[in-house]
Amino acid sequence: MTAAAHSPEHATPLTKDRTRIHIGTAHRPITKRAIKLTDALDFWSFAGAAANVVMQMSRPGVGYGVAESKVESGSLTRHPWKRARTTTQYLAVAILGTEQERLAYREAVNVAHRQVHSAPGAPVRYNAFDRDLQLWVAACLYIGFEDTYQLLQGRMSDEQAEAFYVSSSTLGTTLQVTEEMWPATRAEFDQYWNRACELVAVDEFVRGYLDDLLNLRMIHWYLRLPFRNLLKFLTIGFLAPIFREQLRVEWTDADQRRFENLFVFVAFVNRFIPRFLRHGGTHGLMADVRRRIRRQKNLI
């Protein structure tokens, strides 16, 4: 997407303590083989899904592109369950799919994206085919996988992080991001991420849309009540300080301790759940994509 919007000016470059969440413990290896992005397909990887939407929409071009989109069939507020399916299936295809399956999904997404562009003279300009903002969205997705993996398994060493990062470019290249655009190394990705976060700016319009998301106003009240507080807690916990500030939400030291303690408990329990169960949801989504392709049904 192409965006022209007011961006905050930072007196000094942003650093990791502002752009990433805190991961406290060291990695607790359960295997001697190299860690891959496919190791992060645990069902808990989707606990930060709403936070990832916040991160993506914190760039004005993405925020307005989503909030103003005329593609009703893919609207998060009107069709939340369908949007959740298509987004998670995109991740499944990007990570597990073949080149032919990625191409099929790209073409399906392109049909919707052709309708997503700003009106002439709009204060925030955007186009869903802008590769720079697609790169931002893909980077947010990568951050989500890395954060949840580390919360469950502990902080990776530089060598482990590099191995984990190697196969991640398909998160963007499954759409219009080129291989050359994707940072070549994990260290270069950090540099890109900190620079890109300097363009984060959430105004009242986008903040209102995200507030509806955090309060689950798009689903029935009887589902909203039991899950709203947990969603808010997880979402804010998965946001780095710069995003919390833009969203104007509070997060105390006590909240941080509760968040970290929750994942200490979840990580402990998770170690006793077989991998095929923990990763089964993503593989099931991939099977559904293959079934849709085989039967020539709509992918999104």
**Which sign does the torsion angle of CA 36, 41, 47, 48 carry?**
positive
Non-local CB neighbours of 285 within 8 Å, separated by 6+ positions: 85, 88, 89, 92
In a domain, 187, yes or no: yes
Please give the single-letter amino acid code of residue 203.
D
In 169-252, alpha helices (H): 170-173, 186-197, 204-214, 221-237, 241-247
The torsion angle over the Cα atoms of residues 127, 132, 134 and 137, rounded to 10 degrees, is: -120
Whole domain around residue 88: which residue ranges? 29-294
Residue 3 falls within a domain, yes or no? no
Question: Which DSSP symbol is given to 62?
Answer: H
* Polymer length of the chain: 300
Residue 121 confidence (pLDDT): 87
Residue 40 counted as domain residue: yes
Dump pLDDT digits (tens) for 235-272. Answer: 999 999 999 999 999 999 999 999 999 999 999 999 89
What is the spatial distance between Cα 187 and Cα 161, in angstroms, rounded to a whole number?
A: 9
Q: Is residue 209 part of a domain?
A: yes
Phi, psi (5° rounding) for residue 39? -75, -10
Torsion of the alpha carbons at 242, 245, 246 and 248, rounded to the nearest 10 = 160
17 located within any domain? no
Q: What angle do CA 224, 228, 230 make, to 5 degrees?
A: 140
Question: What does pTM read for this prediction?
Answer: 0.91
pLDDT in tens, the chain (300 residues): 444 444 455 557 899 999 999 998 766 655 556 789 999 999 988 899 999 999 999 999 999 999 998 876 656 767 777 888 889 999 999 999 999 999 999 999 999 899 899 989 899 999 999 999 999 999 999 999 999 999 999 888 899 999 999 989 999 999 999 999 999 999 999 999 999 999 999 999 999 999 988 888 777 656 777 788 899 999 999 999 999 999 999 999 999 999 999 999 999 999 899 999 999 999 999 999 999 999 999 888
Coil, strand or helix: which one is 127?
strand
Decide if 180 is inside a domain. Answer: yes
pLDDT of 1: 45
Read off the pLDDT of residues 50-72 as tens digits, 9 standing for 90 and up: 999 999 999 999 999 999 988 76
Token pair for residue 229? 């507080």
Q: Would you state the pLDDT for residue 197? A: 98
Q: What is the pLDDT of residue 225?
A: 77
Cα–Cα distance, 74 to 300 (Å, whole number): 8
Give the chain's domain count: 1
The C-alpha torsion from 258 through 261 and 265 to 266, rounded to 10°, is: 70
Q: Could you tell me if residue 283 is inside a domain? A: yes
CA distance 235 to 230: 8
Q: How far apart are CA 29 and CA 107, in angstroms?
A: 39
Beta bridge partners, 26, equal 155
**Alpha-carbon span 186 to 164, nearest angstrom:** 9
Residue-level pLDDT at 3? 44
Q: Is residue 220 part of a domain?
A: yes
